[in-house]
Amino acid sequence: MIPASRQRNYLQSALYAIVAGILAAVLLERLLTYAEVAEKSAMEVTLSQLQVGLYARVAYHAMRGEYGRIEAMPTRSPFVAGAMRAANYLGEFDGVPADAESGSWLYDRVSNELVYVPNLKRHLFAKGAAEPPRVLRFRVEVLRRSEHGYTGVALRPVTAFRWDPLQ
């Protein structure tokens, strides 16, 4: 027969293990959520930087009277058109490769769309879809007021999506 004090130690140890397991599960879930927030933020920063680069290029070409180059922007990679670089930009492809690396950008020459391949997508939802999208697509849109009166450039999502990791 096991003494009562030793039996209590086994129960205490089991209780400690259960509490530690629960705390570890909560911590890991929080870390995964914060990693997804960081990925979403990095994607948004890249989009913002591309938008600024494209806007500067539109202004540059408009001042030089190179309207054909501005009109060609929607058919070129925003990284090339805006003279921008990113470590996770894979380049231009005809379609989206099946083995595209998660967390990377690429340009689909067939559809003239900038594509982001998300890594974490637990809180990513596409409008009208049951499961998260495999990729997020964006198009370059030149904004104008008149024939040669450009007001800027925008990177617009092709399909509406919502990515809210903290909600």
Count of domains observed in the chain: 1
Is the pLDDT score of 4 beyond 60?
no
Report the pLDDT value the prediction gives residue 161, as an integer from 0 to 100: 92
Structural domain harbouring 102: 4-163
| Residue 21 pLDDT level (bands cut at 50, 70, 90) | very high
Give the sign of the dihedral formed by CA 60, CA 62, CA 64, CA 66.
positive
Give the C-alpha separation, 150 to 113, whole Å.
Answer: 21
pTM of the entire predicted model: 0.83
Q: Is it the case that residue 165 has pLDDT exceeding 90?
A: no
In this predicted structure, the answer to whether residue 13 has a pLDDT above a threshold of 90 is no
* Arithmetic mean of pLDDT, 87-112: 92
